[in-house]
Amino acid sequence: MNQLTIAIIFYIFAAVTVLSAAFVVFSKNIIYSAFSLLFTFFGVAALYVFLSADFIAVTQVVVYVGGILVLLLFGVMFTNTIMQTELKADVLHVVPGTLLLLLLIGGMLFTFYTTGSWMPGQEQLNGSVVESIGLETMSRYMLPFEMVSIVLLVALIGAAFLARYDKAHKKEH
């Protein structure tokens, strides 16, 4: 593929990511937000492929789209009453929020583009990283890997404990 094709594909995925993320934030309907988040996650996964991190892209699709998004949708369905008639203002601090948004984007972009060219290192990652991920996980990152697995286990047990139906509590009333 030549450079132009790659650039066009990149800009398509970048546009999908940014526009759907904006829709997540600015949409009034939470269900629309949740489904728009799907496109954001897919767009970010495509950007990971551009960064030659194919394994991370697949993990992103499996974990975020298959797990976190389903959890979020479940939360949306569970906590929204079907007939929501009250039309309260859904936002607060809009003016400071907008100011912060513009300041953050402006400040960061200004810094990025005035720092000159970020050092492109001597070597870059090329091709697939799956093999190196396996090697690193079993050598340098053994301890963090085990720790993160225990953290995930404890967090999931805690979540199941917090969200379960509380029978003993119900009996007291």
Partner 1 sequence: MLMEQLLSIGVNHFLTISAILFSLGMFAVMTRKNAIVVLMGVELILNAANINFLTFSKYNGGMEGVMFSLFVIVLAAAEAAIALAIVINIFKTFKTVDVSSVDTMKE
d(CA 113, CA 101) in angstroms, rounded, equals 18
Note whether 58 binds partner 1 by CB under 8 A.
no
Instruction: Report how far residue 59's alpha carbon sits from residue 66's, in angstroms, rounded to the nearest whole number.
Output: 10
Q: What is the separation of C-alpha 76 from the centre of its chain, rounded to a whole number of angstroms?
A: 17
For the segment 62-91, give every residue that binds partner 1 (CB under 8 A). Answer: 63-64, 67-68, 71-72, 74-76, 78-79, 88-91
150 binds partner 1, rule: CB under 8 A: no
Establish if 16 lies at the interface with partner 1 (CB under 8 A): no
Minimal distance, residue 85 CB to partner 1, in Å: 14
Residues in the chain: 173
What residues contact residue 50 under an 8 Å CB cut-off, 6+ apart? 6, 10, 13
Tell me which residue has tokens 């600015």: 26
| Interacting positions 94-133 with partner 1 (CB under 8 A) | 94, 96-98, 100-101, 104-105, 108-109, 112-113, 117-125, 129, 132-133
Which of residues 25, 128, 138, 142 is near partner 1 by CB under 8 A?
25
Q: How far apart are CA 9 and CA 14, in angstroms?
A: 9
53 lies in the binding site for partner 1 (CB under 8 A): yes
Angle at 113 between CA 10 and CA 37, to 5 degrees: 40
Q: Are 65 and 41 in contact (CB under 8 A)?
A: yes
Shortest approach of partner 1 to residue 158 CB, angstroms? 6
Residue 82 Cβ vs partner 1, minimum distance, rounded to whole Å:
14
# binding residues, partner 1 (CB under 8 A): 86
Least separation in angstroms between CB 6 and partner 1: 7
